[in-house]
Amino acid sequence: MIIPAIMLVLGMATLGYTYMTKGWIVERDIELSGGKLITINTAGAVDTAAIDAKLAAAGLKEYDVRFASGLGTGNLLIQITADTDEKVVLDALSGTVDTKDYNVNLMGPALGETFWKQTQLAIIFAFVFMAVVVAIIFRSFVPSFAVILSALSDMALTIAVMDLLGIKLSLAILGALLMLIGYSVDTDILLTTRATKYVNREEAIESAVKTGLTTTATTVAALAVMLLITQAVVLKQIAMIIIIGLVIDIPNTWFMNAGIIRSWLMKKDKGAANA
């Protein structure tokens, strides 16, 4: 249980440091902050460092450059502020990449702020209703607390990894985070149900571990295939976030949550034996 506890402390420290230095826990994408997103279709890989140098030389100050690759194709993604003319970006990239095949998505600051508020409400309501359902199912504080703690830890650590990798929060990633809550609670409830249902606690936990790791492995395998072959940036983001969250969920569920449930059941069995 020490391992996931250390992970959680490091994750919270990362989020705290990010908030103290940058003023936010996770950076928002254009959909949640407002601005323009220029997507340029390319035939192959692109040197983002060279692109960054070109844009800096053109006098641009607020921008973000990313590259998403697929099978033989790629997408160069450049985010700029709403008042920046996209022609300045395209002219700056002339001779570096082919800018004939591109599109521009505009998101106003007011609409982005509205989406951001709705995003926060969605996450809060997801945890509230999850806690209510878990409390109704188990009707005991310890297993309910363990399930909620594991889900919160998965969410916090995944967002911390996003900060470290420079991944911005978008509507697609929000959907992935909400799905991650479902995956996390699924394995936690599997563990708790099996451990409380069967008399032999150790065999029940081992059975839950085998089932849980099998479902996690198959999900990661399917998402890894999607991450490697898809050309859609949104699908790549969703696959990457869920894979990160599922890997984090393994120690959170099978070390921390299993340890809490096992200790709780041992005390419960000991109390019943003494009675």
Q: What is the CATH number of the domain that holds 130?
A: 1.20.1640.10
- Residue 52 has a pLDDT of 83
- Residue 153 has a pLDDT of 92
pLDDT tier at 268, thresholds 50, 70, 90: confident
| 143 closest CA partner among 104, 177, 181, 191 | 191
Q: What is the pTM of this model?
A: 0.77
- Region 111-137 average pLDDT: 79
Give the CATH number for residue 90: 3.30.70.260
255: containing domain: 2-24+111-274
pLDDT at 141 over 70: yes
pLDDT tier at 273, thresholds 50, 70, 90: low
The domain boundary residue, chosen from 80, 107, 134 = 107
Residues 93 and 136 in one domain: no
Q: What is the pLDDT of residues 172-195, one digit of tens each?
A: 888 888 888 888 888 888 888 888
- Residue 145 has a pLDDT of 86
Residue 165 in any domain: the answer is yes
Residues 63 and 132 in one domain: no
Domains of the chain: total = 2
| 188 closest CA partner among 153, 151, 215 | 151
- Residue 47 has a pLDDT of 78
Compute the distance between CA of residue 44 and CA of residue 30 in angstroms, rounded to an integer.
25
Compute the distance between CA of residue 230 and CA of residue 224 in angstroms, rounded to an integer.
10
Residues 17 and 74 in one domain: no
Token readout for 112 is 């982005």
DSSP for 212-262, please give it: HHHHHHHHHHHHHHHHHH---HHHHHHHHHHHHHHHHHHHIIIIIIHHHHH
Q: Rounded to an integer, what is the distance from CA 191 to the centroid of its chain?
A: 23
Q: What is the pLDDT of residues 54-107, one digit of tens each?
A: 888 888 877 788 777 665 567 788 888 777 788 888 888 877 777 788 888 777
Residues 116 and 251 in one domain: yes
- Region 211-232 average pLDDT: 89
Residue 135 in 3-state DSSP? helix
- Residue 274 has a pLDDT of 67
- Residue 254 has a pLDDT of 92
Q: What is the pLDDT of residues 12-64, one digit of tens each?
A: 999 999 999 888 888 877 767 777 888 888 877 777 788 888 888 888 877 78
The domain boundary residue, chosen from 71, 86, 107 = 107
The domain boundary residue, chosen from 107, 133, 163 = 107
Tell me the sheet residues that pair with 87.
none
Residues 146 and 265 in one domain: yes
pLDDT at 4 over 80: yes
Q: What count of residues does the chain have?
A: 275
Residue 52 in any domain: the answer is yes
- Residue 272 has a pLDDT of 65
